[in-house]
Every structure is written in C-alpha cells, then in structure tokens.
A and B are shown apart, each in its own frame.
Chain A
Amino acid sequence: MQFSVPYLLSIITFLPLLGAAAVLLLKGDGPRRAMALGVSTVTFLLSLLLLVGWQDGNAGMQFEEMAPWLPAVGLTYHLGVDGISLFLVLLTTLLSPIAIAFSNRFVHNKLGAFLALMLVLETAMIGTFLALDLILFFVFFEFSLIPMYFLIGEWGSQNRVYAALKFFLYTFAGSAVMLIAILVVYANTGTFDLMQIQNVPLSSNVQMWAFLAFTLAFAIKVPLFPFHTWLPDAHVQAPTAGSIILAGVLLKMGSYGYLRFNIPLFPEAAATFAPWIATLAVIGIIYGALTALTQKDMKSLVAYSSVAHMGFVMLGLVALNQQSVSGSVLQMVNHGVSTGALFLMVGLLYERRHTRLLEDFGGLWKSIPVYSFLFLVVAMSSAGLPGLNGFVGEFAILLGAYTWNPLFAVIGAAGVILAAWYLLTAFRKMAQGKITKPENEVGRIQDIRPVEFLMVLPLLLLFLIIGLFPNLFFDKINPSVTALLENQPAVTRSLEPVALDSIAGEDLSK
C-alpha cells in the first residue's frame, strides 16, 4: 500500500464514540454542538482518506486490521473495507454531520444526550460495514438499535413509545434468530472470521437453515415486504435526524448484510431462494408505491417509497449478476442520498409549520420558491430521472435482472411509473395550486436559509456526480462484486448475456 494511516478504519469507527463521550462531558449546548459537528466532520474528512489511499482494481479487503479478541473461542477484531462497503461507509460519514447540523439547529430538548446518541449510532453503523468477524458484525449491528431506540422514544412525536418499542423488538427478534445461525455456522466451520468461512463449503442443509435465519434478520432491516410495517411507524415518529439516518443508512445494513454474508456463505441456498426473494422484492416495489400514493403524512409517504426503492436493491442482489449487483450497491448509496435528502426537506418544512400533512400545504412554490424548487430536484432524483443518481442504479439493476428473469425486471420497471405518480402527487399538493392556509402566505413562511441550503448542497452535488459520472463509483465497486460473484456456483447462468451459449461451457468448468 503506497499510502497508509495506521489503524485508519479503527479511527474512523471509534472517533465518533469518543466524540460522544466528549459531548457528554462538555457543559452548555454551544460547545456540545460544536463538538458533535466537529467530530462528525473530522470523521468524514478522515474517511475521505480511504479514497486517497484506495488501490483501484484491488477486489479484496483494503486497510485491513486484525487483532485477537477472544482467542479462546476464535473471536477476532477484524476490520476491512472493499468496493462493496467503501461507499456505504462514506455515506454514513457524510449523512451523520448533515443530520447533526440539522439537529444543532432544531433540537433543544436534552441536546447533549441527543448528539451523543447520534455519535454512538455513527460508530455502530460504520462498524457494521467494516466488521469482518461474524460476532463483531453482530455486535455492531445490534448495538445500532439502542441509540436509535432512544432517539425515537425520547425525541419522537406523539406515538413515539409504541414506534420505538416496535422498531426495537421487531428488528431484535430477527437478529436473535441470526445469532443462532451464526453459532451454527461456527459449529460447522470452527471460526467466526468471514474471510475464512468463505472458503469452507457448508452442507446444503446447514446452508438452507442458516440462510433463512440470516435472511429473516436482514429482510426485516431492509425492509422487504411483508416485514416492513415497523418502518412507517418508526419514520413518522422519529425526529428528522433519526429519519435521515434510519432511511439513509440503517436500512442498508440489511441489504449490505445480505450481500456480504448470505451470498458468499450460503451460495446454494441464495440461488435456491432467489426467485422467492425477488417475488417479495417486486411486490414491495408495487405495493410500496401504491401505498405511498395515498399517504397523507409526508414522512409515511417517504417511508413507503423506501419500501419500493429497497425492493429494487433486493431484486438486484438476488439476480446475482455483475450489472444487477453493482447496480444494487450503487442504488444503496443512491437511496441513502435521495431519501436522506427527502427527509431533510420534509424536516425543514416541519420545523416551519409543525405539521407534515400534505393537506396543510399547497401553493408553496409561490411563497418559498427556492425550497420548492429544491424539493422538486430531490423528488426527481428519487423518481429516477436520468442524469441524476437514482436512474443509474435502477437502470443497471433492471438490465441485470432482465437477463436473469425478464418478468421480475418488467414488473420492477412498472414501479418507475408509480414513483413519478406518488412523488408528483405529493409535490402537486404541497407546492402547486393556490395557497389555502394563511400560515403558508408569502412573508409568513421562511424560504430555505443559507445554512440550511448548505446541509442539502452536498446531497444535491452527489445527485449530479453520481448521475453523470457513475464510473467514479463503479470503478471501485465492480472488482469486489466480480470477485464475490466468481465464488458463486450459480452465477454462470447470467454473467455474460452477450454470448451465453458460447461461454457457458467454459464457465461451468471453472
């Protein structure tokens, strides 16, 4: 490695945790705000070093760190980052300061605790994406529940206790089953280390049960239809920063987990169950969109749109070819950026009017034109307008999925129509038409302020950068996806759609 900062991954992971402690020790909201924003910003800048030191074309783990943890039972502290996790880490370190900046401005009740929890959450999320030891992963994965539980339960809306408890218990139940499966895998391989387990083939029977257990945990997290009902409740009740992180990052822990563990560890089972998961994914695409269409609360609208969008991600993952999986990895980032931005915009409006009901708005394009214009840009990104980010991921997923199974891809493509429908319907009710409420009149409601614009700006720039130059991302994602698929017995069916007949024999012999 020509460039190296020792323990870079550990520093990125645990710096926010130290920051959380510092925030709690400080007196006064001013220093706490500065500390939280400062630490999360420094973490982001440090995470950019990953790009500086990145070895292009290296499909394996980079910046790897390994230390014995509990050698008696084979536990190791093993971190590493590859093309699959790289941008999810960067997404986390980018969204965290944005969510903290928003909270600095609008949260007043027990601010220190709020910011500390946000930073603890950041450590848990980064750790989840970097851990290469099953138990270590599980610890981070589970640990993220606790700060989010308190963020929803303490700072949420009216029905926050129910939503927080449901979020916690539902996802916890899923991962409890996963823990048993992790132990089963350990019993069969003698290690918790992902890099080593990958090389030990598991029996079909073990694969099947372990796969189902892992999938349950991840399907709830994603969430895959019909495991999604915790999501609208959690989003509607959560404070804005919680929603940004929940939609932007936490959901990806599910799809990332599926890609990182289920596909390499249980390849046979992953191939067997692919059509079933794809069925749920496309149901989710249509179901989420149609349900979003009739929502009255803007947050639950965005929540159901997440069900639809994450359906695309899952469809790409189970189609198991280069285009679909690379597309899914990018689409995880896209969804984080676009939906994070949507929740941010909704949050800005909520802080002005203390309502999220569409019927309380109308005609905002007249009174707050810059805000309305930005909202439309964000909506277009979410609706997959070509030239912006969402399209690239969806397009790669659909092309790949079609070579695997045209029917799923065609149903998925129909979801693109519905996405435009519910987003433009929301925009129609919110920004177009006449101003019906005096609170929305020109002069009564504040347009977006410069400091607020600065929170949205990085996301807007990412819309364009990903939309126009996606290869900046694909160049790093592709090699790792290729490597992951090469270990798959099932991928031969659709890796090379061009000359399927001519190369099939070759690939099978590998």
Chain B
Amino acid sequence: MIQFAWLLLAFPAAGALINLFFGRRLSKNAIGAIASGAVIGAFAVAVMLLVALLGLPAEERAVTVTLWQWITVGTLDIKAALLIDPLSVVMALVVTGVGGLIHVYAISYMHDDAMFQRFFVYLNFFIFSMLILVLSDSFAGMFVGWEGVGLASYLLIGFWFDRKDDLYGWYADAGKKAFIVNRIGDFGMLVAMMAIWAALGTLTFHDVFAQAEAGMLAAGTATLICLMLLLGATGKSAQIPLFVWLPDAMAGPTPVSALIHAATMVTAGIYMIARTQPLWHLAPDASTVAAWIGALTALMAASVALVQTDLKKVLAYSTVSQLGYMMLGVGVAAYGASIFHLLTHAVFKALLFLAAGSVMHGLHGETDMRKMGGLKAKMPATYWTFLAGTIALAGIPLTSGFLSKDGILLGALVHSPVLYVVGLFTALLTAIYAFRMFFLVFHGEPRDKKLIDHAHESPRLITWPLWILAGLSLVDSLLNLPFILTLEKFLEPALGAHEEPALTLELLALALSVVISLLGLAMAYGLYMRRDGWAQNLKKSLSFMQGPLENKWYFDEVYNTAVVNPLKAIGGWFTSFFDPRVIDGAVNGVAHGTSRLGEYARRLQNGYVPTYALSILVGVAAVVVYFLFI
C-alpha cells in the first residue's frame, strides 16, 4: 500500500490540471466538485497510509518511496522520493482533512466570483505543493514544495489583483510582499542546504541525520545550519523578523486565509524544524534562539491582536502569536507538543476563519468589528461554532487548545522559567483578545443597526464544514490527553523520545494554565461585556500602549526605511548615474580616446616627406638605443 503514496500527490495534481485545461467548459459546481473530490481523495489515501503505518512495528515506520532520480551530478545525488513516516502522515492528514473541508466551503463562498475556476486551480495547486513539502525525503525535495506553496500563496493573496482598499492597499502588493519576504527565508534554506551538502555530501533526511548523529557534523556547522533553517522558518511561519507579510496576506479570500495562512502553509516552518530535530540537538544555541523568537513573536502578536478592529486582522495576529507558541515549543525540544498544537490550531483556527467568513458572507463583506455586535440571534450556527473556536483559542480548560498549549508551556517551564512566564502572560492576552473579538462580534447591541438588520445565516455548504470543524476542535484533544499522549508516542519514531517532566511540575503548569485562561475570560468579560469600572481604569492606565500596538510596533515602517527604500535608491542610482555615466562613460571614453588617437595618426600621414623622414629617424634612433642600452 505504501508504495502507492504517490497517489496522494496525483489527486490534487489531476484536479488542478483538469480544471486548468477544461474548467472553461465545466459548470461551477463541476469545478468545485472536481477540486474538492481531489483533496478528499488525497485524504482517503492519507488515511490508508496511516492504517498501513500502524500495521508496521514502530521502529519500521519510515518507508521511502522513490519516484525517480532527480538531480545527479557527480557525488550530488537527489532523488524525487517520498518519506512516509508518522510525522509526514499526520501532516498529510491535517493538510488534506482541513483542506478538503475548506474546498467544500469555498464552493459556496466563492460562488459569485468571476474567477471561480482560477481559484480552484490555485487551491489544488497549493495542496499539491504542500504535500510535496511534507512528504519529501530530502531537503531539496522539501524546498520544491516550500517554494511551490509560496507561489500558491502569492497567487491567492493577490487573487483580486485589481482591488485596493484602505486596509491592505493594493491586494497585488500584499501578494508580492509575501513572496519576496518569504524568499528572504528561502535564502536561509538555500544556505543551509549548501552548508549541509558541503559538510556531509548528502541532502537526504535519513542520511543527513544518520551522519549528524554519528558525530560527523561539527557543532559550529550545525549551529550555522540551524540558524539558516530558522531564518527559513521565520519566513514561512511568520515569526520575527519576517512575520510582516502575514497580516497583509488577509487580502486574500477568506477560505485562503483559513487554509494557507492559518491551518497549513504557515506551519511549514514548524514542521521543518521538527523534521530536522536531529540537527537541532547538535545546536542548542540555535534552539535557544528559536525558543526566544517564538516567545517574543507570540507576545508581540498577541499584544497587537488586542487592539485590532478588523476581524480578519485579529485572527491574523492571533495566528502569528500561535505560531510563536509552536516555535517556542520546537525551540525547547517539545517537538511532539508543538506538532499537537499545530494540529489543534489547524482545526480551531480554520474554524475561526471560516466562521469569520460566514460573518462576512452575512454582512456583505464587512470585517470591521466596530460596526458589528448583536449577531448572535441573526447567525446562530455561526455563533455557536465561532464560540467553539474561541474557547479553544483562549485555552479554556478541557478544550484542545488548552491541552496543546499547556504541553508547550510545560516544555518551556522545564527549559527556562523566563520563557515560561512570557508564554503564560501571552496566554492571558490570548484569552482576552479571543473573547474581546467574540463579544464585539456577537454580543451587545448592534453598533450598525442597518447592517446587522440585513444580516442572515449562511447556506448549508458553509455551515456544515463549520459544524464538523467545531466538533473536531472539541474532541481532537483526545488524541493526546495528558499522561497518555497517544499522538506524541505515535510521532516518537520521527521526533525522538518524549521527555518525562516531574509530575509536580506538570500539575503546576496545568493549574496555572487553568487560572490564566479563566482570568483572561473574566477580564474580557469585564472589559467588553459589562464594561466594569476596574476594567475601564486598567484600559486607561495602559492607553500609552495604544499607539505602538495599533501601528504593529512599527515593523513595516522600519523595514521600509532601513531596507526596501535604500535598495531601491541604490538600484535607481545604478540606473540613472553609475551605469550610464561611470561604467558606460569609461567605455565611451576609451572609444573616443581611440578615435582621437586615430585622428592624430591620420595627421601624421600628411603626405609631407619631411614628416616621414623625421619619423624614420626617430625609429632608427629608438632601435639603436634599444640594442645599445637594453
């Protein structure tokens, strides 16, 4: 069965190609059915692969399926091959499972769009690339998917390429920014691959890790490699310093935000670090950097999410923040917990985005929370499913988000108390912004009465994916209950053994997580529902933070001033001055000089015999001097 793993790729590839070449002649429903069917078919293959893996003894659960020799040059030998192991299968299940639901949702959501066909071609292409990313058995193969999802993301962010508004500017610019910022990360990936190959002579995961574990990789080289991989991860997984593209990426249609910019693609950096964990064991310094980047990103993004007024932007910063948790997790070697959080987050954040999309659908595209309020009665299905996503995000006890985040925090606590405190404080902020969003959208009096009066619940093709995701987000915690850890044990062959922390530490972390999330809920309730005096005072005393937060800590401004504009200015100077005046000036100067010389030479040949005689004399004298003295 495992030998047929390539079917996983064949389904979405076929879907994309059929809709690309024949979509014009097909009805919208047919296009949607083909695209969704392709992803659901891939999901079925992934399930069968899971069953096949479970049938193998744990130590044999890593099967390589070679497709063909890709690049062979001397000792460079790269195969197009798939690695089927617990980690890749779990990722494939997330991608095709969540992806399938989002495809179905999008049939209805995108129904009136003129570029319906194009949308589903891109979406299938994305699934195809993402599966290459998680299934490849080498760094080079992973990089193919890595850049492929970048292209899909670019195409889908700038999907409405002729639109422009105050929130995003030109949508096409948002797409371009995403691609270029990600390419900075890809530069890191390239350098990491060069360093790996120079040191070990292979790019296949299995061989690289075997040699690394055998001690063939010097610590300094390992640190360089891991820091470069980390640069790649900060691009794809939207971490400091490269997260700036993700908030703008919300310009894309909402199913895209749910699929690519919340559930799947942005987790690629986390997946990549988990996948390469044998290298990170050799580079503890790089791991520490990753942990701090994750913690600070989580805190920074959660703080920004507190003040956003646009529904999708809150969710975008929330995604950055949650990815920060995952980065913190892989930084403190809690790989299993990170992948668990990746999974639960994929479900509840896809749910929140799709529910937000349902709100937008009901409000004719409105995303400004200042105009909402009181939607509970108008959109009950959206309300209840959104609530399920909110409690998971806020980490209310017993939800999936609570357990998976707690696993990461526990790992941080074992590693460093300071990181733990940052993570815990971020959890408080998370609960506050999650419920702030929830209360502002659904509770209270409608702030734009006309808008809310015309609101309506979304059609079934939109609501039933919401119900499925809501149900999943409530039960997926069963996959990895504390102390049982089914998922983490399953992942152990790929991610290494789980560290057992002291029981008291584990209970302490659990208790604090409970307290913090409930405290956050209470504060949000006080701030945005009851508008208590204490809460208003707290808000006032923190008002000095409003400016930096609303301006997202000025990251974009700094980058534009320090990097983008100077590079453009240098390019402009090359074009307007250096190239035409200096370099070409020298060329033309030589040319003019030569023709001037020719001019003199012509004058010498003036036909006067005395001139020739003089030159003969000079010539003879020179020859005599040469022979006599040199």
Contacts and interface: CB of A to CB of B under 8 A. Distances in A.
Interface of A: 166, 169-170, 226, 228-230, 232, 287, 290-295, 321-323, 326-327, 363, 365-366, 380, 385-387, 392, 395-396, 398-399, 402-403, 406, 409-410, 413-414, 416-417, 420-421, 424-425, 428, 431-435, 468-471, 474-475, 478, 482, 495-499
Given A169-B591, A417-B180, A406 B575 contact: no
B198 A403 contact: yes
Interface in B144-173: 144, 146-148, 151, 154, 158, 161-162, 164, 170, 172-173
A170 B198 contact: no
B575 A295 contact: yes
Contact of A402 (B72, B164, B197, B579): B197
Contacts of B583: 226, 228-229
B74 A413 contact: no
Interface stretch (B303-311, B452-460, B565-573): B565-573
A478 B147 CA distance: 27
Contacts of B143: 386
B280 to A, nearest CB: 21
Contacts of A294: 568, 571-572, 574-575
Most buried by B among A380, A424, A470: A424
A432 B161 contact: yes
A498 B75 contact: yes
A435 B162 CA distance: 8
B162 A366 contact: yes
B73 A432 contact: no
Contacts, number: 159
Given A226-B583, A229-B587, A470-B71, A417 B184 contact: yes
A326 B75 contact: no
What 10 A-B pairs are tightest by C-beta distance, nearest first? A498-B201, A322-B74, A432-B172, A402-B194, A290-B571, A229-B584, A432-B161, A386-B144, A294-B571, A293-B571
B575 A291 contact: yes
Given A468-B70, A498-B200, 5 more contacts: A293-B568, A323-B74, A398-B194, A414-B187, A475-B72
Interface string B53-80: 0000000000000001111111110001
B71 to A, nearest CB: 6
Interface string B572-593: 1011000110011011000100
Contacts of B193: 399
B503 to A, nearest CB: 47
27 contacts: A229-B587, A290-B567, A290-B570, A294-B575, A322-B75, A323-B73, A323-B75, A380-B151, A386-B147, A396-B76, A406-B198, A416-B186, A417-B180, A417-B187, A420-B183, A421-B180, A424-B180, A432-B158, A432-B170, A433-B161, A433-B170, A469-B68, A469-B70, A474-B71, A495-B74, A496-B75, A498-B75
Given A229-B584, A326-B74, A399 B162 contact: no
Contacts of B568: 293-294
A45 to B, nearest CB: 28
B176 interface: yes
B574 A291 contact: yes
Contact of B190 (A322, A398, A428): A398
A292 B198 CA distance: 32
Contacts of A321: 74
B431 interface: no
Contacts of B147: 385-387
Given A413-B190, A433-B172, A470 B70 contact: yes
A232 B147 CA distance: 30
B195 interface: yes
B245 interface: no
Contact of A471 (B69, B170, B567): B69
A229 B579 contact: yes
Interface residues of B, number: 56
B191 interface: yes
B170 to A, nearest CB: 6
A363 B198 CA distance: 45
B140 interface: yes
B195 A432 contact: no
Contacts of B584: 229
Contacts of B72: 471, 474-475, 478
Contacts of B574: 287, 290-291, 294
A420 B179 contact: yes
Contacts of B572: 294
A120 B574 CA distance: 36
Contact of A482 (B74, B184, B201, B587): B74
Contact of B187 (A291, A295, A413): A413
A416 B183 contact: yes
Given A366-B162, A396-B73, A432-B158, A291 B148 contact: no
Contacts of A287: 574
A379 to B, nearest CB: 11
Nearest to A435: B162
Interface in B182-211: 183-184, 186-187, 190-191, 193-195, 197-198, 200-202
A431 B161 contact: yes
Contacts of A402: 194-195, 197-198
Contacts of B74: 321-323, 326, 478, 482, 495
Contacts of B76: 322-323, 396, 399
A392 B80 CA distance: 13
A136 B201 CA distance: 41
A285 B195 CA distance: 21
Given A395-B140, A406-B194, A482-B74, A387 B148 contact: yes
B71 A433 contact: no
A497 B571 contact: no
A423 to B, nearest CB: 10
Contacts of A433: 161-162, 164, 170, 172
B588 to A, nearest CB: 8
A421 B563 CA distance: 13
Contacts of A230: 587
Contacts of A496: 75
A366 B159 CA distance: 12
Contacts of B71: 392, 395-396, 470-471, 474
B176 A387 contact: no
A321 B574 CA distance: 33
A392 B568 CA distance: 29
Given A287-B574, A326-B73, A392-B71, A387 B591 contact: no
A291 B571 contact: yes
B180 A399 contact: no
Contacts of B580: 229
Nearest to A419: B183
A218 B75 CA distance: 30
Contact of A410 (B75, B180, B191, B201): B191
Contacts of A398: 190, 194
Nearest to A296: B575
B467 to A, nearest CB: 37
Given A432-B162, A497-B201, A478 B73 contact: yes
A409 B194 contact: yes
Given A322-B74, A380-B151, A413-B191, A428 B183 contact: no
Contact of A497 (B144, B183, B197, B586): B197
Nearest to A232: B579
Contacts of A420: 179-180, 183
A368 B222 CA distance: 49
A169 B594 CA distance: 11
Contacts of A425: 176
Nearest to A422: B571
A294 B568 CA distance: 7
Residue picked from B76, B202, B584, most chain A C-beta under 10 Å: B76
A353 B412 CA distance: 61
Nearest to B567: A290
Contacts of B195: 402, 406
A23 B147 CA distance: 47
Nearest to B162: A434
